[in-house]
Amino acid sequence: QKEVEQDPGPLSVPEGAIVSLNCTYSNSAFQYFMWYRQYSRKGPELLMYTYSSGNKEDGRFTAQVDKSSKYISLFIRDSQPSDSATYLCAMNRGAQKLVFGQGTRLTINP
Amino acid sequence: GAVVSQHPSWVICKSGTSVKIECRSLDFQATTMFWYRQFPKQSLMLMATSNEGSKATYEQGVEKDKFLINHASLTLSTLTVTSAHPEDSSFYICSADTSGESYEQYFGPGTRLTVT
């Protein structure tokens, strides 16, 4: 079993829709949870990171962590075509290497 | 802030030659840098962790004699692919850690290596 599971998609939604991206994990020691956005042939861009459980909001993006369920989510409100990319979740225990999900390919259709 | 650059952005080389890829943190000092490899439509695979002034720590299955890593300063790490073969063709990405705890990593734009 992989430490981090993420549905690779592809996920296609119309412009303006709310997008929900999710990851599950098995290691209860993970404390830091990150979301990265990666455009084709580019390096990943850090969107948000969250420590432990709870919500964090940044503009149209909201990250949620539920440690009891070992489940994290990223919500994108008012999605735009420019949000089309691959979204990678990542997590670690602090001072440890990041463990990445497989990435979800997202397309926002105008 | 937190900008990481890589050079070159793409390179084509012949089988048997060596290729050096540079990773620089432009506006901060990075105690730790990481090197990843990514195949098409796949996630990032950590190759090694590089700390300034010390030997890199390689992940299991990564040949340290083939992928030479040097972290000469707090702003520069290099990856040299020695005696490259076509199966080494991939997208190589570095990242730099600003937090000291590895959770706030900023990635470079990547280097696409094609070995013919």
- pLDDT tens, B30-74? 888 999 999 887 888 999 999 888 889 999 999 999 999 998 888
Q: For position B39, what pLDDT does the model report? A: 86
- Between A20 and A94, the more confident residue is A20
- Between B30 and A68, the more confident residue is A68
B17: contact with A, CB 8 A cutoff: no
Q: For position B40, what pLDDT does the model report? A: 83
Number of cross-chain residue pairs from A and B with Cβ atoms under 8 Å apart: 60
Q: For position B62, what pLDDT does the model report? A: 95
The shortest C-alpha distance from B112 to chain A (Å) reads 8
SS3 A83: helix
Closest Cβ opposite residue A102 in set B43, B59, B109: B43
Of A14-18, B5-9, B46-50, least confident by mean pLDDT is: B46-50
Q: For position B25, what pLDDT does the model report? A: 92
Q: For position A6, what pLDDT does the model report? A: 94
* Per-residue CA distances from B2 to A108, B25, B28, B29, B46 (Å): 28, 7, 6, 9, 20
- Sign of the C-alpha dihedral computed for residues A17, A103, B70 and B97 taken in this order: positive
User: Is the pLDDT score of B100 beyond 80?
Assistant: no
Q: Mean of the per-residue pLDDT values for chain B?
A: 91
Radius of gyration of the CA atoms of chain A, in A: 13
Closest Cβ opposite residue A49 in set B4, B103, B107: B103
Chain B hits for A52, CB-CB cut-off 8 Å, are: none
The pLDDT > 70 percentage for chain A reads 97
The shortest C-alpha distance from A103 to chain B (Å) reads 6
User: Is the pLDDT score of A95 beyond 70?
Assistant: no
Average pLDDT over residues B21-36: 91
Give the pair of three-digit tokens for residue A99: 């463990």
User: Is the pLDDT score of B101 beyond 70?
Assistant: no
Chain B hits for A51, CB-CB cut-off 8 Å, are: 103
Give the pair of three-digit tokens for residue A89: 């979740």
